[in-house]
A and B are shown apart, each in its own frame.
Chain A
Amino acid sequence: MPLRFQNRPALVAYLTCGDPDLAITMDIALAAIDAGADVVELGVPFSDPVADGPVIQRASERALRHGTSLLQVLELARKIRKKSQAGLIIFTYLNPVLRMGMEKFSAAAQDACVDGALITDLPVEESRDYLVEMQKRGLATVFLAAPTSTDARLQQIARASSGFVYAVSRTGVTGARQQMPEDAPKLVGRLRRYTDLPVAVGFGISTSAQFEAVGKFADAAVVGSAIVEIIERNPGKEAESVAQFVRQFLVSGRQSSALSR
């Protein structure tokens, strides 16, 4: 299934699976999609999330406390797919995938009918086996592009990516920031030279004003920590709270871009 970014800007919502538990993650994912999220990134909790800030670190710790595994996340994806046709991406660190085996992972991902995967700490140079297995099964391989990536690297990233390219808005870890750094538009501009794929911008986007700003130069924005924090702060009403956030976020974030069209 192709990843679709019909809305501009599209919203990619990240969830740490298993926080607070897998059943609630499923409710949250469906509620977020219902509220307008175009793609859901199903985050696999990991013990050493070096690319993540404190919010996702805490969520990962909570999810790992009751043993959330990659296999369970894939099972969750399959259940979500039965109820929704929205884009689904497995978002993970490499180690759980390596432990499962590339072939088994991509077969399980295909079986769960997800659209693709993003492995945070797998740079293009090391991705040969992964690409072979994923491409064989028609699964998208989303790679990260960073403001520090050289043009030569961006070219490689563009070539290895399918589905979309994930542009990291700034150097640093995930987590909300007040402003959109200058790095992001420049990086997206550089990326466009090498690819026609949609570009999603992530890391630090938490407000509709930022979402609107990203919409001016990118196809989609990824919102992670802001959503994960809402889940943390609203025990017992996680799904409603996320749905409400997403709805408001989209209404105010797309308002002016709709007007300008």
Chain B
Amino acid sequence: MATAKIQLRPTASSAGRFGVYGGRYVPETLMAALDELERHYEKAKRDRNFQKRLNQLLHTYAGRPTPLFFAQRLTKILGGAKVYLKREDLLHTGAHKINNCLGQALLVERMGKHRVIAETGAGQHGVATATVCALLGFECVVYMGTEDMRRQELNVFRMRLLGAEVRGVDSGSRTLKDAINEAMRDWVTNVRTTHYLLGSVLGAHPYPTMVRDFHKVTGREARAQILKAEGRLPKAIIACVGGGSNSIGIFYEFIKDKKVQLIGVEAGGEGNAWAIMPRASAAVRQACCRGPTHMCCRMRLGRFRQRTPFRRVLIIPPLVRSTPG
């Protein structure tokens, strides 16, 4: 594990820039689709009916609000801070992923598209995507590295059960990085009818902003819940970081609270220089990969290399710093 100080910027400026990060770096073929998505998203944000429908689904289908649970025994064992757990795991499909999937699926409906593609690593985002597609009647294709498919067989089964087609990706490291590449290639080919339901705060604008917005409900609930339970804000919030959607979801509503420390924890790898990169500042440079400029784990020549995570759950090369993740 490693930690890194992150400059938090609460809002994106024009063209989805967060300081030097963010932006849009994709082949020209996708630019019109990104413009279209941004337009629809901006409209939906201000559309009361859209927000009402989303909230209703979050409540009646996904199971929001999730409880904030005081972990009494853990608090005792750790012997310091009072520990509360925000139980996103109790949502339908077992993770926070459903927040963003429901939001984007409603946008797909607005755009009049009928085919959804997604990438998945461990399978959680794939399962959530397959679920919302089943709910709204979209065709669904999920790209997954064959190595990940082997490791996460149960999730592959769940996606198929929900009617999604899971396409194994055999190129490169056969993991999430390659699944994203393959999903991008599908999108660039079928962009006129297909929406790419990205599950992390990465990719080209408006994805990072949009994914953050669909997840910030977690932090909004947690803020109200902790104020009710303790009558004060927490000293710190700790979240795991993979693609960044979980952490930004809980962090976002607390960014303005300067006294609340926000701590992101990520898998650090297996010991060689680039794997422990958050501390190896020389290896952390501005990079651009599949959309925005990110802080990335890269080799000397500006290429991306698969990270070797501490635990084989979240395997993704770009460490997203474009939005605090």
In A149-195, which residues have CB < 8 Å from any B CB? 149-150, 153, 157, 168, 171-173
Q: Is A211 located at the chain interface by the 8 A CB criterion? A: no
In the complex formed, the residue of B with least CB distance to A143 is B28
In A10-54, which residues have CB < 8 Å from any B CB? 46-51, 53-54
Q: Is B191 located at the chain interface by the 8 A CB criterion? A: yes
- Which of B15, B191, B287 contacts A171 (CB under 8 A)? B191
Cross-chain contact B188 with A98 (CB below 8 angstroms): no
User: Distance (Å) between the CB of A60 and the closest chain B CB?
Assistant: 10
In the complex formed, the residue of B with least CB distance to A98 is B288
- Kindly state the interface size class of chain A when it binds its partner: 35 or more
Which chain A positions have C-beta within 8 A of B50?
none
Q: Is the interface of B mostly helix, strand, loop or mixed?
A: mixed
In A73-108, which residues have CB < 8 Å from any B CB? 94-100
- Which of B23, B191, B287, B293 contacts A148 (CB under 8 A)? B191
If A47-B305, A64-B303, A96-B303 touch, whether A173 touches B185 (CB-CB below 8 Å) is yes
Q: Is A145 located at the chain interface by the 8 A CB criterion? A: yes
Q: A172–B188 Cα gap in the complex (Å)?
A: 5
If A46-B303, A47-B305 touch, whether A99 touches B285 (CB-CB below 8 Å) is yes
- Kindly state the interface size class of chain B when it binds its partner: 35 or more
User: Distance (Å) between the CB of B236 and the closest chain A CB?
Assistant: 34
Which chain B positions have C-beta within 8 A of A144?
27-29
Q: Is B181 located at the chain interface by the 8 A CB criterion? A: yes
Cross-chain contact A171 with B290 (CB below 8 angstroms): no
Cross-chain contact A153 with B31 (CB below 8 angstroms): yes
Q: Is A126 located at the chain interface by the 8 A CB criterion? A: yes
Cross-chain contact A95 with B287 (CB below 8 angstroms): yes
- Which of B185, B189, B191, B303 contacts A47 (CB under 8 A)? B303
Q: Is A123 located at the chain interface by the 8 A CB criterion? A: yes
Q: A187–B185 Cα gap in the complex (Å)?
A: 21
Q: A64–B31 Cα gap in the complex (Å)?
A: 28
Q: Mark B1-29, 1 if CB is under 8 A from A, else 0.
A: 00000000000000100000001111111
Which chain A positions have C-beta within 8 A of B288?
94-95, 98, 121
Cross-chain contact B301 with A148 (CB below 8 angstroms): no
- Which of B31, B181, B190, B301 contacts A50 (CB under 8 A)? B181
Cross-chain contact B189 with A173 (CB below 8 angstroms): yes
Cross-chain contact B27 with A148 (CB below 8 angstroms): no
If A123-B25, A126-B24 touch, whether A48 touches B302 (CB-CB below 8 Å) is no
Most buried by A among B35, B172, B188, B298: B188
Which chain B positions have C-beta within 8 A of A122?
25
Closest 5 CB pairs of A and B: A99-B302, A47-B303, A146-B29, A172-B189, A96-B302
8 A–B contacts, CB within 8 A, in A order: A48-B304, A50-B184, A51-B27, A98-B302, A125-B24, A148-B33, A157-B28, A172-B189
